[in-house]
Structure formats: structure tokens, C-alpha cells
Amino acid sequence: MSDSRFLLGGQKMVRAFTLGASALVLLGFAGTTPARADLKLCNNTASRVGVAIGYKDREGWASEGWWTAEPQKCLTLLKGTLIARYYYVYAVDYDKGGSWGGKAMMCIRDKIFTIRGIDSCTERGYQKTGFFEVDTSEEADWTISLSGEKTSQGQ
């Protein structure tokens, strides 16, 4: 609004108009903030944890990793309304060793990844490991709490 065509009553009038318009914009959004719907994980351990997830979407099965969950902190794995009822998690304790997993076999790799499909992992150059199942009960927003005993202990 620094264009001279808009300086009808001088610089003070433009600033007042701009501040008033900004306040109206802020007030307009204050009551319409949408609720956050995400898949989150809270790391309730004393260790840094690496997290991978698996899920089925319109394109089929996918697995993704790695997120680092700091001790006693939560992080968002997927942003937006959840599209599946079941998600799968595999987590590795970076500090003390061991992992949390389950019976749902999916592909992973050591570096950051997004892998489509869960078949022929080793033939495609990936590792195959078991993820534990998380039933979100078809909720749009879900938080997974990671704590307790690991399924395998580190060396």
C-alpha cells in the first residue's frame, strides 16, 4: 500500500487502514481454525527412537521412515485426516539398542525411505522386518504412545 494512489489522507490514514484490515483478518480466522487431524507418536522412553510406519492407501501398501523421536517428546508422522484404520509401526532404540515390532512384515532400509509395496523386499534391495499394528478405530486423529518392553534387545 505504499503506492501514492492510496495515500488519500496521508501516511497515517493508510497505516490505520492497514492495521484495521489486519485486525479484521485475524479476528475472522480466530473462530474458524480447523482441528488438527494427524498421526502422532509420543516417545515415552529415555532414549532417542527411530520410527518407521506402514499403511495402505489408494495406491496400495507403503512404508516410510525414518523419523527421530526425542525422549519424552511427541512428533507428527502424518499430517491431515487419517485415511486408513490400521497403521503399522517399527521403532528402533538408538541409544540403548533393541526395537519395537510385530508380525506385519514390510520393507525398510537404513536411510530415509518411502517404499511402495510389501512384497519381495530383499529382491528389491530392501530389508524385511515386522511392524506392530495400530488400530485407530477409524478416527481422524490418533496418537501412538511408545514405551515398555522392546520386542528385541540390543547387543
- Other C-beta atoms closer than 10 Å to the C-beta of 132 total 18
- pLDDT value, residue 152: 63
Residue 1: is its pLDDT beyond 60? no
What is the span of the domain harbouring residue 75? 38-146
Does residue 20 sit in the same domain as residue 60? no
- Are 70 and 29 in a shared domain? no
Instruction: Based on the fold, state whether residues 120 and 106 are members of the same structural domain.
Output: yes
Q: For residues 153 and 97, is the Cβ–Cβ distance under 8 A?
A: yes
Q: Same domain for 11 and 65?
A: no
| 48 and 8 both lie in a single domain | no
**Residue with the three cell numbers 519395537:** 100
Q: Give me the CATH number covering residue 69.
A: 2.60.40
- Is residue 69 pLDDT above 80, yes or no? yes
Regarding whether 54 and 13 lie in a shared domain, the answer is no
CA 52-61-83 angle, 5° bins: 85
Q: Is the pLDDT of residue 71 over 80?
A: yes
Q: Residue 133 has what pLDDT?
A: 94
Dihedral angle at the C-alpha atoms of 150, 77, 63, 109, nearest 10 degrees? -60
For residues 46 and 96, membership in a common domain is answered with yes
Are residues 72 and 129 both part of a single domain?
A: yes
* Residue 29 and residue 47 in one domain: no
pLDDT beyond 80 at 16: no
75 and 113 assigned to the same domain:
yes
Task: Looking at the structure, tell me whether residues 48 and 108 fall in a common domain.
Answer: yes
pLDDT value at position 22?
Answer: 36
Total structural domains in the chain?
2
CA distances from 67 to 48, 62, 101 (A): 10, 15, 16
Query: What mean pLDDT comes out for the span 18-33?
Result: 38
Q: Which residues does 13 contact at the CB level (< 8 Å), separation at least 6?
A: 7
In this structure, the answer to whether residues 55 and 18 fall within a common structural domain is no
